Amino acid sequence: KMKKQTQFQEIENYDYVSAATKILEKRRQMYEIHEQFKSQKIEHKNKEEQFKIQEQDLREQDMAIQAELINFCKFLQENEAKKLRAEKRLQEETKQKEQKEKEINDLENQYQELQNQQQKLEQKVNSLKKYEEYLESVIKVHGDQFQDLSEILVRYKTLSVSNENLLKEHKLLEREKEDLKHTAALFVKEKSQEILQCSNDIKELSKKLEVFIFLKIEYNYKVNKQRKRKMKKYKFQIKQKIQIINLDKKIQIQEEY
């Protein structure tokens, strides 16, 4: 009977030691989990600070890009305004050219009219020569009745002077006409080159703007994708920490029981 009591007491002592060992082991595991949780908490805090810094950098970069985009749009607007001013100036100068061409046409019409007058005067002179010959023959036949042809000669001289003046005016008008044509041709060529250059500049700037907008969209997509990936990672870490906390609570409850 004493032997059985001794065996029973040894079994009881063994069970007590085994339970105490299990409790110590659980406490050790709980301490390790707690330390791991503290380490992960510090790491999470550091990552959260880094994320805030990166988010601030991204925000500053985004603001800088927006400012550059605004400046670029202003630059495009200024170039568009320059183009409009150049087109307006070209319209005004084209209008002036048309006015000059109209003046040239008017001068040509005047010149044509003067030529017609000259032809009429020449025809009149020729007709007067016939009268002169007739009058000379009359003077020869009837010298006592007619003095001379002074009046006719005076008229002839007047017509000759008028003819010379008309020729001079014709040469002057021809010279002015050629000068105006040359000036108009140079003007049209110069303004056409300016408009072509403005159009090429606007096309080039439009291409750069399209590339810039595409890069902006691609950049925003990468940033959003990176944020989503980080948030997913953080959510997973938080879920793990919550599981650890729940496990810790279960262990504490088991220890209390």
Structure confidence by residue, pLDDT tens digits, 7-26: 445 545 545 556 666 667 77
Q: Is 5 a residue whose pLDDT tops 60?
A: no
Mean pLDDT across the chain: 74
| pLDDT score of 164 more than 50 | yes
pLDDT value, residue 76: 79
pLDDT of residue 254: 65
What are 92-138's pLDDT values in tens digits?
888 888 888 888 788 788 878 878 887 887 777 777 677 667 667 75
Closest by alpha carbon to 96, among 174, 178, 191? 191
- Residue with the bigger pLDDT between 184 and 172: it is 172
22-78: per-residue pLDDT in tens? 667 777 777 777 777 777 777 777 777 887 777 787 788 878 778 888 888 788 788
Residue 59's nearest CA partner among 233, 219, 228, 230 is: 219
Residue 1 has pLDDT above 50, yes or no: no
Q: Regarding predicted confidence, which is higher, 214 or 91?
A: 91
How many whole angstroms separate alpha carbon 111 and alpha carbon 176?
A: 12
Residue 8, pLDDT score: 46
User: Is the whole model's pTM more than 0.85, yes or no?
Assistant: no
Position 140 confidence tier, pLDDT thresholds 50, 70, 90? low
Q: What is the 3-state secondary structure (H, E, C) of the chain?
A: CHHHHHHHHHHHHHHHHHHHHHHHHHHHHHHHHHHHHHHHHHHHHHHHHHHHHHHHHHHHHHHHHHHHHHHHHHHHHHHHHHHHHHHHHHHHHHHHHHHHHHHHHHHHHHHHHHHHHHHHHHHHHHHHHHHHHHHHHHHHHCCCCCCCCHHHHHHHHHHHHHHHHHHHHHHHHHHHHHHHHHHHHHHHHHHHHHHHHHHHHHHHHHHHHHHHHHHHHHHHHHHHHHHHHHHHHHHHHHHHHHHHHHHHHHHHHHHHC
Confidence class of residue 4 from pLDDT cuts 50, 70 and 90? very low
